[in-house]
Chain A
């Protein structure tokens, strides 16, 4: 992974934090969708 200052990520210190955010959001969405399915089905 490039540590070039120009390629540093916005908001977080490292790109790993962004990757965790994206995958964590996916997990959260699946849980929310599951609960919605249970709630309305």
Chain B
């Protein structure tokens, strides 16, 4: 990184911390610290919801995803608008009426203490570990690209934000997220503009889309159906996006305290609802735009030589292995293909401009054959890394966009894009720390301690809990590095394993009013969790194939079904006892 990049990076990050400290002043009690005194307008709620969901990986991974697999990933977000409507109608009024600090407080009122404890514990476990990964994931990318020490990168990634999150609580989180998103969108827009500018003379935006489209990168809508029927293991298609995505979004936005805690800071139900509904309106177009950058980068690399694999650290592992000669051979073939591909894609765009349909078809067929050959060569490298190199990682999706940034963008803009990675991480991690602290304080500390504490004392304790969770997440990030990628995979699926069950408990609470027995729901949740784990183990061991999004409806509907069955059984048992 150049000196100018460092200046831009340091100024942006210190600016955010100072802004968070300045804006985060609130009342010295739990209402002020966790709920911003319930004072925020919907615009701020919207940005806070978006800033919490969008982590660094969102901005790094999405363009890479479009580069390798096309734009169909956008379908993953199709469930969000439906979930926003359901949460606005059913969830928000209940949370407001009961004036809760955490979503799980409601469960004690509705069922019993143990159901609340179980749900809050599931949240603390999954959110605490996944936030540790949120610290580690962007750190390892920056560390690989720039050779930074991973431990220090983890500390800066997960540590600096603790300053304003601990000091200012939910208010600091919301205000910094607003500032962060403005910088993030500006940077992403500039990056997109630069990709288009770097295309060869005579090749425009629509030409780039045509190239991406002809090479299966503009596959926004996919049905998931093959000649043999619906492919249940396909992760991203219209059906899994709407159904699986809906359950995931309903659980995440409706019952995950890191999101519920954002819209509980609104000044009224109206402001909460507006923030959620506007999120339902803007989230898909935003994600579409980020993925589009990936398609543009893909088209850019048809005219410019792309590395066969974007993670240089992993390539170095191959260089230092028995595969060195094979890698050189594959690289030479890849280079030769690139020269032919560049000539063909230039002829393709010329044919497009002449509207020469016959030539367009001919060049499209040639391009597809060349692209298939390139992917076969790339596939060999991926295979060697996955199967034959110890600790090898054949997934370079997160490195594609950043490699382009570092290689081609001008000085200053690189620093801004690196700052964006930090800011996007901070936005989601800060919200997570705030929610972890609120659950610890409200769902556990307050219920366990026998001492009556003042608002000021609770406020001070909450700050210490925020610090403790921040340190916990950094420690998780450090251990993640030591234990390798298997832990990352394990923790990544953790969310899907628990989200459905947590949602199911809330669905029973909201919609099955005749079920009042807390023990019924508690045991139904345990059974549903066992069901989800069984399905997950079967998919992992190859008994059958199923995309991870489907675990969410299975968990949620499992709790509903088991609760209904157990309530029927238990009521008959009670009836029999009474009649005796």
Chain A residues with CB under 8 Å of B209's CB are: 40
A26 to B81, CA, bound (A): 7
User: A23-B82, A33-B220, A40-B212 in contact; A6/B268 too (CB < 8 A)?
Assistant: yes
Decide if B84 touches A40 in the complex (CB within 8 Å).
no
Assess whether B273 is in contact with A37, with CB atoms less than 8 Å apart. no
Which A residues are in CB contact (< 8 Å) with B268? 6-7
- A34 surroundings in chain B (CB, below 8 A): 220-221
A residues 1-41 in Cβ contact with B at 8 Å? 1-2, 4, 6-10, 15, 18-19, 21-23, 25-26, 29-30, 33-34, 36-37, 39-41
Scan B249-282; emit 1 where CB is below 8 A from any A CB, else 0. 0000000000000000000111001100100110
Closest A residue to B210 by beta carbon equals A40
A22 in contact with B89 (CB, 8 Å): no
Q: Is the CB of B212 within 8 A of A7?
A: no
Q: How far is the CB of B146 from chain A (nearest CB, A)?
A: 36
The answer to whether A41 and B218 have CB atoms under 8 Å apart is: yes
Contacts of B281 in A (CB 8 A): 21-22, 25
A4 to B96, CA, bound (A): 13
Q: How many A-B residue pairs have CB under 8 A?
A: 74
Given the interface pairs A37-B218, A37-B219, the reply to whether A23 lies near B85 with Cβ below 8 Å is yes
Q: Which residues of B contact A21 (CB under 8 A)?
A: 277, 281
Report if A2-B269 is in contact (Cβ < 8 Å); known contacts: A10-B274, A34-B220, A40-B209.
yes
Query: Which residue on chain B has the smallest CB distance to residue A41?
Result: B213
Q: Given A7-B270, A29-B284, A33-B74, A40 and B213 touching (CB < 8 A)?
A: yes
- A38 to B47 alpha-carbon distance, docked (Å): 33
**Shortest beta-carbon distance from A18 to chain B in Å:** 5
Asked whether, in the complex, the Cβ of B284 is within 8 Å of the Cβ of A1, the reply is no
Q: Are A9 and B284 in contact (CB under 8 A)?
A: no
Selected from A6, A9, A29, the residue in CB contact (under 8 A) with B273 is A9
B219, A15: Cβ atoms closer than 8 Å: no
Given contacts A1-B93, A41-B213, contact A30 B270 (CB under 8 A): no
Contacts A22-B84, A36-B218, A37-B218 hold; do A30 and B210 have CB atoms under 8 A apart? Answer: no
Closest to B74 in A: A33
Q: Are A15 and B220 in contact (CB under 8 A)?
A: no
| Overall SS of chain A's interface | helix
> Judging by beta carbons under 8 Å apart, are A9 and B270 in contact?
yes
B284–A18 CB distance below 8 A: no
Contact residues in B for A4 (Cβ distance below 8 Å): 269
Q: Roughly how many angstroms separate A18 CA and B78 CA in the complex, as a whole number? A: 17
The A-contacting residues of B in range 72-89, CB under 8 angstroms, are 74, 78, 81-82, 84-85, 88-89
* A19–B88 CB distance below 8 A: yes
B279 to nearest A CB, angstroms? 9
Scan B192-234; emit 1 where CB is below 8 A from any A CB, else 0. 0000000000000000011011101011110000000000000
Report whether B284 and A15 are in contact in the complex, using a CB–CB cutoff of 8 Å. no
A1-B89 CB under 8 A given contacts A7-B269, A15-B273: yes
Distance A18 CA – B274 CA, assembled complex (angstroms)? 9
Q: Within 8 Å CB of B277, what residues of A?
A: 18-19, 21-22
Minimum CB distance partner of B238 in chain A: A30
B216 contacts which chain A residues (CB < 8 A)? 41
Cα of A22 to Cα of B277 in the assembled complex, Å: 7
Cβ–Cβ contact B88 & A15, under 8 A: yes
- Is the CB of B15 closer than 8 A to any CB of chain A? no
B285, CB-defined interface residue at 8 Å:
yes
Known contacts A1-B93, A6-B270, A7-B268; A22 and B85 CB within 8 A of each other: yes
Q: Is the CB of A23 within 8 A of B81?
A: yes
A39 CA / B213 CA spacing, docked (Å): 8
Which chain A residues have a beta carbon within 8 Å of chain B's beta carbons? 1-2, 4, 6-10, 15, 18-19, 21-23, 25-26, 29-30, 33-34, 36-37, 39-41
Give 17 pairs: A residue, B residue, CB < 8 Å, sorted on A.
Answer: A1-B93, A2-B93, A2-B269, A7-B269, A9-B270, A15-B88, A15-B89, A18-B273, A19-B85, A21-B277, A22-B280, A29-B285, A30-B78, A30-B221, A37-B221, A40-B213, A41-B216
Q: A9-B273, A22-B85, A36-B218 are in contact. List 8 more A-B contacts (CB 8 A).
A: A1-B93, A15-B89, A23-B81, A25-B281, A26-B284, A30-B238, A37-B218, A40-B218
